[in-house]
Homo-oligomer: A and B are copies of this chain.
Amino acid sequence: MIYSWQDLSQQVEVEVNQFDFSGKPAELYDPIGYTMRLGGKRIRPTLCLLAAQLFGGDLTKAMNLAMAVEVFHNFTLVHDDIMDEAPIRRGKPAVHVKWNRDVAILSGDVMFVQAYQLLAKGNPEKLSQMLTVFNQTAIEVCEGQQFDMNFETRDDVTAKDYIEMIRLKTAVLLACSLQLGAFESGASEKDAQLIYKFGEKIGIAFQIQDDFLDCYAKQEDFGKRVGGDIISNKKTFLMLTAMERADKNQSDRLDQLISTNSSDEEKVSGVLGMYNELNIPEITKSAMQDYFDESLAALDQIKAATELKQPLIELAEMLMMRKK
């Protein structure tokens, strides 16, 4: 039987809910269970299991690696929420708010170790390779977060810098999740590289789409306020591309829209007008499509049965909102 991504996502949810995150002192461990059980789409562990399935591996064994990436991802959220001073995570108080900053730092550190403990339960013959990609990914995720914070105050960020930042901050962990599942199942070096590329490219496509939807989603389909990135002057793919393509006159008008104290509605409609003038929606959709195509091309090259690739394609399409 071939599991769909929905089946495996459900299995991850069950595993998370029955996993024992308790320990002493309670101040250290309670926030871990709390964070892990806030929900979320469980995309990363599901990708790990789908890759294990793709290469014919034992999903029970791959579950340790799936949990490793989910615990690691949640660790980054706990520390990022301190840095971003974000009070809410998935509709509930963030750890640094519900407990305090120190608890959030230290519980996060413990989660980081727990991710390595789970990783160490992987296929012993592949442990060295798995450790290498996991370490590299963990470092890159930190680099991505630092670049993201730096971008807020820099005024020389290019769309290319931005793509590199989202690659580091988001895409490489999707890629790593898939590659760990592939290693666990004994995939060839070549196939392990291809599945990594599949995850990396779909991750970049997904993040560009996130920027796109912030401007162009229908309010009823979108969790956040449409135009929120424009209102908060976020340096998105759309804004950075617009700035690069604008001539002197257009650039001045954009600067004025960003810096004046007009109402949120005027600012959003003004910027969207500029985006249309500069053909930003089409350029953005085209960039998304290119990364999406590269992603599927990598998957296509992998030596595995087509029907085992299907759940990965479906998850990719769901992420790109082409399928529910």
Q: Which residues of A contact B (CB under 8 A)?
A: 23-25, 27-28, 79, 82-83, 101-103, 105-106, 109-110, 112-114, 116-117, 120, 124, 127-128, 131-132, 135, 138-139, 142-143, 145-147, 149-150
The listed residue with most B CB atoms (<10 A of its CB), out of A23, A106, A127, A138, is A106
Verify A142–B110 contact, CB threshold 8 A. Answer: yes
Verify B120–A131 contact, CB threshold 8 A. Answer: yes
Alpha-carbon gap, A114 to B113, bound state (A): 13
Residues of B with C-beta under 8 A to A135: 113, 116-117, 120
* A84 → chain B closest CB, angstroms: 9
Verify A143–B112 contact, CB threshold 8 A. Answer: no
Q: What is the count of identical protomers in the complex? A: 2
Residues of B with C-beta under 8 A to A82: 101-102, 105
Verify A139–B110 contact, CB threshold 8 A. Answer: yes
Q: A120-B131, A120-B135, A131-B116 are in contact. Are A143 and B105 (CB under 8 A)?
A: no
* A74 → chain B closest CB, angstroms: 14
| Nearest neighbor of A119 in chain B, beta-carbon distance | B131
* A198 → chain B closest CB, angstroms: 24
* A98 → chain B closest CB, angstroms: 16
Verify A106–B142 contact, CB threshold 8 A. Answer: yes
The listed residue with most B CB atoms (<10 A of its CB), out of A117, A142, A149, is A142
Alpha-carbon gap, A168 to B28, bound state (A): 14
Residues of B with C-beta under 8 A to A127: 127-128, 131
Verify A128–B124 contact, CB threshold 8 A. Answer: yes
Alpha-carbon gap, A161 to B61, bound state (A): 38
Residues of B with C-beta under 8 A to A150: 25, 27
The listed residue with most B CB atoms (<10 A of its CB), out of A109, A124, A131, A138, is A109
What are 18 A-B pairs at a CB distance below 8 A?
A24-B143, A25-B143, A25-B146, A27-B150, A79-B105, A83-B105, A106-B142, A106-B146, A110-B143, A112-B112, A113-B138, A114-B139, A116-B135, A117-B135, A120-B132, A124-B128, A127-B127, A131-B131
Contact of A102 among B25, B83, B124 (CB under 8 A): B83
Verify A120–B109 contact, CB threshold 8 A. Answer: no
* A110 → chain B closest CB, angstroms: 5
* A6 → chain B closest CB, angstroms: 33
Alpha-carbon gap, A23 to B143, bound state (A): 9
The listed residue with most B CB atoms (<10 A of its CB), out of A105, A114, A149, is A105
**A-B residue pairs, 8 tightest by C-beta:** A83-B102, A28-B146, A113-B138, A120-B131, A110-B142, A117-B135, A25-B146, A113-B139
